[in-house]
């Protein structure tokens, strides 16, 4: 199969309009889909054809995703800002119910092992504090606490119990 100037020009025109390689092969006739892809690659034609319809969909999706991300981050930050957590309500495994935090404290082999027992958040197994431990935001490095800054009391308590 040889590519004539006429077929190459037709390929460029169809490729620019956003037709698929299969569609172009059908229009040109006597050419396979792979031959069209190979020729397009050798001609350095753009791999991504952006049409108005596609770009509008992408912009809409980006807006939807950015709004979703903001609300998730906002909810997470609201948990971080809140520093007054209810006190622990130590419970054994048999005492746990749907509304109690199931965060284990200690090691199961130890005698004083228990579960947090605070009120858990809706649709989660953990309380607000332990939810912060369990679910970290994506692509965020841990903030390094400088020695000069004050460490919150609930973190001091965790350090002492560890």
When pLDDT is cut at 50, 70 and 90, the band that residue 141 belongs to is: low
Name the residue range of residue 6's domain. Answer: 1-58
Residue 7 sits in the same domain as residue 48: yes
User: Is 19 a member of any domain?
Assistant: yes
Residue 88 sits in the same domain as residue 131: yes
Residue 89 sits in the same domain as residue 46: no
How many domains is the chain partitioned into structurally?
2
Q: Which long-range contacts (CB under 8 A, 24 or more apart) does 113-122 make?
A: 114/90, 115/90, 115/91, 116/88, 116/89, 116/90, 116/91, 117/88, 117/89, 117/90, 117/91, 118/85, 118/86, 118/87, 118/88, 118/89, 119/86
The answer to whether 89 touches 116, Cβ cutoff 8 Å, is yes
User: Is 66 a member of any domain?
Assistant: no
Q: State how far the Cα of 100 lies from the Cα of 127, in Å rounded to an integer.
A: 8
The answer to whether 15 touches 40, Cβ cutoff 8 Å, is yes
Is the pLDDT at 130 greater than 70? The verdict is yes
User: Is 72 a member of any domain?
Assistant: no
Residue 9 has a pLDDT of: 92
User: Is 78 a member of any domain?
Assistant: no
Q: State how far the Cα of 52 lies from the Cα of 60, in Å rounded to an integer.
A: 12
User: Is 73 a member of any domain?
Assistant: no
The DSSP bridge pattern shows strands 104-105 and 114-115 to be antiparallel
Round the average pLDDT of the chain to a whole number and report it: 75
Q: State how far the Cα of 20 lies from the Cα of 45, in Å rounded to an integer.
A: 13
Residue 64 has a pLDDT of: 54
Cα of 129 vs its chain's centroid, Å: 22
Q: State how far the Cα of 128 lies from the Cα of 120, in Å rounded to an integer.
A: 7
Predicted confidence (pLDDT) per residue in 28-61, tens digit: 888 899 999 999 999 888 765 555 555 555 555 5
List CB contacts of 125: < 8 A, sequence separation 6 or more: 101, 102
> Taking the model in full, what pTM does it have?
0.37
């Amino acid at each position: 199969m040889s590519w004539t100037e006429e077929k190459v020009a037709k390929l460029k025109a169809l490729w620019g309009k956003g037709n698929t390689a299969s569609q172009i092969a059908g229009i040109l006739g006597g050419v396979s889909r792979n031959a069209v892809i190979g020729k397009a690659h050798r001609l350095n034609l753009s791999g991504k054809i952006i049409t108005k319809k596609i770009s509008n969909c992408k912009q809409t999706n980006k807006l939807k995703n950015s709004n979703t991300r903001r609300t998730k981050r906002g909810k997470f930050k609201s948990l971080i800002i809140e520093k007054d957590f209810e006190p622990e309500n130590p419970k054994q495994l048999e005492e746990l119910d749907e509304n109690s935090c199931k965060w284990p404290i200690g090691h199961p082999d130890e005698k004083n092992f228990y579960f947090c027992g605070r009120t858990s958040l809706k649709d989660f197994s953990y309380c607000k504090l332990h939810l912060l431990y369990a679910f970290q935001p994506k692509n965020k490095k841990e903030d390094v606490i400088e020695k000069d800054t004050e460490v919150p009391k609930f973190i001091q308590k965790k350090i002492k119990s560890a």
